Structure 1
Amino acid sequence: MDLRNILDAAAKGVFPPPDGATTVVPQLCARDAGVLAFTAHTVVFTDEPESWVRAALAAVDCDAFAASMNARFLNSFMDRTGRAHDTIDLLTVASALAGPPPLELREIRDREHPRVTRALTRRDEVRVWETPGGILVLGRGVGGRWEAAIEVAEDVRHRGLGRQLALAARHLVPAESVWSQQSPGNARSVRVFQWAGYRAVGSEALMLMPGLG
């Protein structure tokens, strides 16, 4: 089973067995490497030898269930690959919805737009929409999955715009499901996506190529 199959199954609510094991699979593209943690099962996606992954995990002095998300392993991963790492995100997914989005959006077609160029460093097939005070980004990220990200200007917060943008992504995604990552510490963002119907499926530590951290 490759990374795409694992993610497709998770989007449908089918997860790896909760057996405390770690599955190692190849990267699907040069850009994306990292770690996924599901309930009592982790997946490391990397082009590094599996023997190195197993040895690095074994060297971490902690419970085996936590080793793949332990800072010592993640540091070893960065040292080995020269990659950077931002944070461990909550990984969420929602099914697509029919019909138009719940607010008026204008698509930004200028590929030199700052928000578009930034998104293109981390995703493929990027599309970006704007509405007064907000931005919605859709693009193909890890494993080819469709991912949504939103931005809301500080002066229009607490008016429900973030919720509407997160919900709009479910209407605009050209696939059966859309994914999104939120930092667990960003409780406001977590609540926004939960309200919009995104359900938590695990956590993710994405290792960024040099220059993207």
Structure 2
Amino acid sequence: MGRLAEVFAASAGGTFPPPDGVVEVVPRPTPLGLEAVLEFTAHALVATALAPDDVLRLGFDAYGGVVSPDFLRWLAGPDGEVGCHDAVLVRRGTGHSDLPARTDLDDHPRVLDSRRRRTRVTVYGDDRGLVTVGRGLANRWETSVELFENTRGGEGIGRVLISEAVGHVPEAEPVFASVAPGNAASL
């Protein structure tokens, strides 16, 4: 198990890295070529293909420095892109869901985005919306959700769809969802 996988497993159980001001540079654990910065209270991990010395010599700290625009632009490089800063939520898989697979949604923008960031993505849904379930950073289970525009009475429907999504993950396995803080309804 790599360092990121260890941190994800511990965090899913409520144990976080110590608030020691350390920036850890760890190998990029994804076949998709994505770099990542994970921020905890006074502790950060930078998952990259770059040499640790190259990252650390810049002097960006674990108190918000490694998520500053200057650092993220440097990490992305001249041809890379910087995504948004997400809050990461976690639940446990339940191993049971009635939400059916939906191969007819393979061209939906949410599905295309999910497949850019994850492997082994499966799409599930019904007339209310869709969820994706796949393997993401450090091979962790990840999900995303989108309500369809015609969904009425949206309060709570996203929560129901997420409950169905985690049912497609083995019981007790952590499932992660990244949510842009501006999407307050999802938080």
- Relative to the length of structure 2, the TM-score reads 0.87
Q: Find out whether 1:167 has 2:163 as its counterpart.
A: yes
Q: Structure 1 CA distance, aligned partners of 2:183 and 2:132?
A: 18
Q: Which structure 2 residues correspond to residues 67-86 of structure 1 after superposition, within 5 A?
A: 67-79=65-77, 82-86=79-83
In structure 2, the gaps of 5 or more residues are none
| Residue 12 of structure 1: how far off its partner (Å) | 1.5
1:15 maps to what in 2? Answer: 16
SS in 2 for 1:114: coil
Q: Structure 2 CA distance, aligned partners of 1:178 and 1:113?
A: 21
Instruction: Decide which structure has greater strand share.
Output: 1
SS in 1 for 2:73: helix
Q: Structure 2 CA distance, aligned partners of 1:53 and 1:72?
A: 13
Q: Structure 1 CA distance, aligned partners of 2:159 and 2:133?
A: 15
SS in 1 for 2:38: strand
RMSD: 2.1
SS in 2 for 1:22: strand
1:27 maps to what in 2? Answer: 28
Q: Structure 2 CA distance, aligned partners of 1:64 and 1:117?
A: 32
| Residue 44 of structure 1: how far off its partner (Å) | 0.4
1:210 maps to what in 2? Answer: none
1:38 maps to what in 2? Answer: 40
Q: Which structure 2 residues correspond to residues 47-62 of structure 1 after superposition, within 5 A?
A: 47-56=49-58, 58=59
- Relative to the length of structure 1, the TM-score reads 0.77
1:89 maps to what in 2? Answer: 86
- 1:121 and 1:64, CA in 2 relative to 1: closer, same or farther beyond 3 A? closer
1:105 maps to what in 2? Answer: 99
1:130 maps to what in 2? Answer: 125
| Residue 174 of structure 1: how far off its partner (Å) | 2.6
Q: Which runs of 4+ in 1 moved over 4 A?
A: none
8 Å Cα contact 1:91/1:181 also seen in 2: yes
| Residue 162 of structure 1: how far off its partner (Å) | 0.9
In structure 1, the gaps of 5 or more residues are 191-213
Q: Structure 2 CA distance, aligned partners of 1:105 and 1:17?
A: 39
8 Å Cα contact 1:169/1:178 also seen in 2: no
8 Å Cα contact 1:3/1:27 also seen in 2: no
| Residue 177 of structure 1: how far off its partner (Å) | 1.2
| Residue 8 of structure 1: how far off its partner (Å) | 1.5
Moved more, 65-74 or 156-165: 156-165
Moved more, 114-123 or 174-183: 114-123
